[in-house]
């Protein structure tokens, strides 16, 4: 164990960190961050780190954004929380108005939850209950794609397909149906991103045609399977899926928790396909990295299916103590205002173009490069055949010493920076990646 500060000692005494093997902390003790500013966070020793992963994909406009800080302070002095059953507040009402304006057409009603996984639970419960109330109680299967990730609560794990998260809990999980979906890096149809017509949709098509009577909903991560390794796929897949699900009375659930709010260059990733889902989950960037809140958006048609006399037993009885918290809503409203006032989507397009050209240049001679892929301001470097164990994690540790947070997904190193990133910071991000990989490979010479 390295020499630890008092704060690190106390942390390890009490805290069981997420998504971690705590024994790893013997080699890489918790980095205690004392402040954040823009692209950077600073630790207790004054080391600065460039946050290239937006602190688990949540931060949009940098740390301690002045506009958001201001509205939080104002909101706290007005109202910190109020039960959201029977009561409401200005921030929630304004958010309802603003979010439905920018959401894909038809998504007109909001259900508040606290985090992405809970919004997946709501989507599942709501879809099923709606079918029950329309006389189709046999529609209880949820379909998702191989490589899917929709959160880590038990219901969400049922539609997820990442073994490392699900394996041990299998006896507790009600498994959904996993269908072979797009895998563009290893396309078995000999197509590339330009020639693709989503031929791989055939697996989904076959399954849905044969089993639609039992299927309640299909849940997808729109355009990019994030946790599976930033696997970008064709909007044509979504178009085909939208048409078929509509024809077969199956809900299309768009999980936009990671990819919503501009990540892919559109406000919501499903816009690339030009279609609307029946249910859409948003979280993470909704509150720009400030507050755990997520929302499930649904159509009026679905909403109306729950609207009746209380005695009809059609209420949707899902609640969280902090549902619709005013501070979270105020932050989300400001997030949407920033998108509008500061032309964030145009900024993402410009910066995305710069990053694409830069990455092409800087990765020209990168060894073990399988593919560099990008959409919006998300770039992913798929490394293939690297020597050694947990190469991605080792590269991440080296990059930390060089001042960049490049937390990988297996051996895929990706960039998902806050939108305020500057050109010189993108250069630095790629340079640190290249240097870290080089330093890692030197261990095997």
Q: Using the rule CB under 6 A, is 68 a contact of ligand PLP?
A: no
Binding to ligand PLP, residues 96-115 (CB under 6 A): 115
CA atoms of 183 and 91, how far apart (whole Å): 41
Label the pairing between strands 378-383 and 369-375: antiparallel
Q: How far is the CB of 151 from ligand PLP (least distance, A)?
A: 4
Angle at 145 between CA 206 and CA 418, to 5 degrees: 145
Q: Which is nearer to ligand PLP, 150 or 240 (CB)?
A: 150
Q: Which of residues 151, 182, 289, 376 is near ligand PLP by CB under 6 A?
A: 151
Q: Which of residues 99, 110, 228, 258 is near ligand PLP by CB under 6 A?
A: 258
Q: Using the rule CB under 6 A, is 150 a contact of ligand PLP?
A: yes
Structure tokens at 408: 């990988």
Q: Using the rule CB under 6 A, is 160 a contact of ligand PLP?
A: no
Q: How far is the CB of 283 from ligand PLP (least distance, A)?
A: 5
Q: Which is nearer to ligand PLP, 331 or 437 (CB)?
A: 331
Q: Which is nearer to ligand PLP, 29 or 324 (CB)?
A: 324
Q: Using the rule CB under 6 A, is 121 a contact of ligand PLP?
A: no
Binding to ligand PLP, residues 266-285 (CB under 6 A): 283
- Is 113 in a helix, a strand, or coil? strand
- Is 29 in a helix, a strand, or coil? coil
CB 402 within 8 A of CB 414: no
Q: Which is nearer to ligand PLP, 296 or 391 (CB)?
A: 296
Binding to ligand PLP, residues 8-67 (CB under 6 A): none
Q: Using the rule CB under 6 A, is 289 a contact of ligand PLP?
A: no
Q: How far is the CB of 285 from ligand PLP (least distance, A)?
A: 11
Q: How far is the CB of 56 from ligand PLP (least distance, A)?
A: 7
Residues near 240 by Cβ (< 8 Å), separated by ≥ 6? 198, 201, 204, 205
End-to-end CA distance of the chain: give it in Å, rounded. 27
Q: Which is nearer to ligand PLP, 29 or 289 (CB)?
A: 289
Q: How far is the CB of 114 from ligand PLP (least distance, A)?
A: 8
Residues near 445 by Cβ (< 8 Å), separated by ≥ 6? none
Q: With CB under 6 A, what is the number of residues at the site for ligand PLP? A: 14
Q: Which of residues 221, 278, 334, 382 is near ligand PLP by CB under 6 A?
A: 221
CA atoms of 375 and 232, how far apart (whole Å): 7
Burial string for 335-370 (b: 16+ CB within 10 Å, else e) reads bbebbeeeebbebbbebbebbbebbeebbeebeeee
Query: Token pair 């929380």 is at which residue?
Result: 81
CB 244 within 8 A of CB 266: no
Binding to ligand PLP, residues 182-201 (CB under 6 A): none
- How many other β-carbons are positioned within 10 Å of the β-carbon of residue 278? 25
Q: How far is the CB of 193 from ligand PLP (least distance, A)?
A: 21
What residue is closest to ligand PLP based on CB? 116
Q: How far is the CB of 234 from ligand PLP (least distance, A)?
A: 18
Q: Using the rule CB under 6 A, is 228 a contact of ligand PLP?
A: no
Q: How far is the CB of 209 from ligand PLP (least distance, A)?
A: 27
Give the CB-side neighbour count of residue 423, counting CA atoms within 13 A: 5
CA atoms of 396 and 228, how far apart (whole Å): 18
Please report, as ranges, the residues that interact with ligand PLP according to CB under 6 A: 115-117, 120, 149-151, 221, 226-227, 255, 257-258, 283
């Amino acid at each position: 164990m390295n020499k630890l500060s008092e704060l690190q000692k106390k942390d390890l005494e009490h805290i069981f960190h997420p998504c971690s093997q705590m024994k790893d902390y013997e080699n890489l003790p918790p980095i205690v961050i004392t402040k954040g500013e823009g692209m950077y966070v600073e630790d207790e020793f004054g080391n600065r780190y460039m946050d290239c992963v937006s602190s688990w994909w949540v931060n949009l406009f940098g740390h301690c954004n002045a506009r958001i800080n201001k509205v939080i302070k104002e909101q706290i002095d007005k109202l910190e929380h109020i039960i959201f059953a029977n009561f409401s507040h200005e921030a929630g009402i304004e958010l309802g108005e603003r979010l439905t304006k920018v959401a894909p057409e038809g998504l007109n009603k909001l259900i508040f939850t606290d985090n992405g996984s809970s919004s997946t639970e709501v989507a599942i419960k709501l879809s099923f209950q709606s079918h029950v109330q329309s006389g189709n109680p046999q529609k209880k299967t949820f379909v998702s794609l191989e490589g899917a990730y929709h959160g880590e609560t038990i219901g969400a794990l049922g539609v997820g397909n990442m073994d490392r998260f699900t394996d041990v809990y299998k006896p507790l999980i009600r498994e959904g149906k996993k269908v072979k979906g797009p895998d563009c890096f290893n396309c078995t149809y000999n197509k590339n991103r330009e020639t693709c017509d989503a031929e791989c949709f055939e697996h989904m098509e076959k399954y849905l045609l044969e089993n639609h009577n039992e299927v309640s909903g299909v849940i997808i991560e729109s355009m990019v399977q994030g946790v599976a390794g930033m696997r970008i796929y064709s909007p044509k897949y979504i178009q085909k899926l939208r048409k078929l699900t509509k024809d077969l009375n199956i809900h299309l659930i768009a999980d936009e928790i990671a990819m919503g709010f501009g990540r892919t260059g559109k406000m919501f990733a499903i816009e690339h396909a030009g279609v609307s889902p029946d249910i859409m989950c948003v979280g993470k960037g909704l509150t720009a990295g400030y507050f755990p809140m997520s929302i499930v958006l649904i159509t009026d048609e679905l909403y109306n299916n729950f609207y009746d006399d209380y005695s009809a037993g059609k209420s949707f009885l899902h609640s969280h103590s902090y549902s619709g918290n005013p501070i979270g809503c105020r932050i989300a409203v400001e997030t949407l205002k920033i998108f509008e006032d500061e032309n964030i989507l145009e900024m993402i397009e410009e910066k995305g173009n710069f990053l694409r050209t830069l990455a092409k240049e800087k990765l020209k001679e990168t060894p073990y490069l399988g593919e560099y892929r990008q959409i919006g301001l998300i770039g992913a470097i798929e490394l293939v055949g690297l020597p050694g164990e947990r190469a991605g994690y080792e590269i991440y540790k080296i990059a930390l010493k060089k001042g960049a947070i490049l937390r990988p997904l297996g051996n895929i190193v990706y960039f998902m920076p806050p939108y305020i990133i500057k050109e010189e910071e993108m250069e630095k991000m790629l340079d640190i990646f290249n240097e870290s990989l080089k330093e890692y490979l030197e261990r095997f010479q």
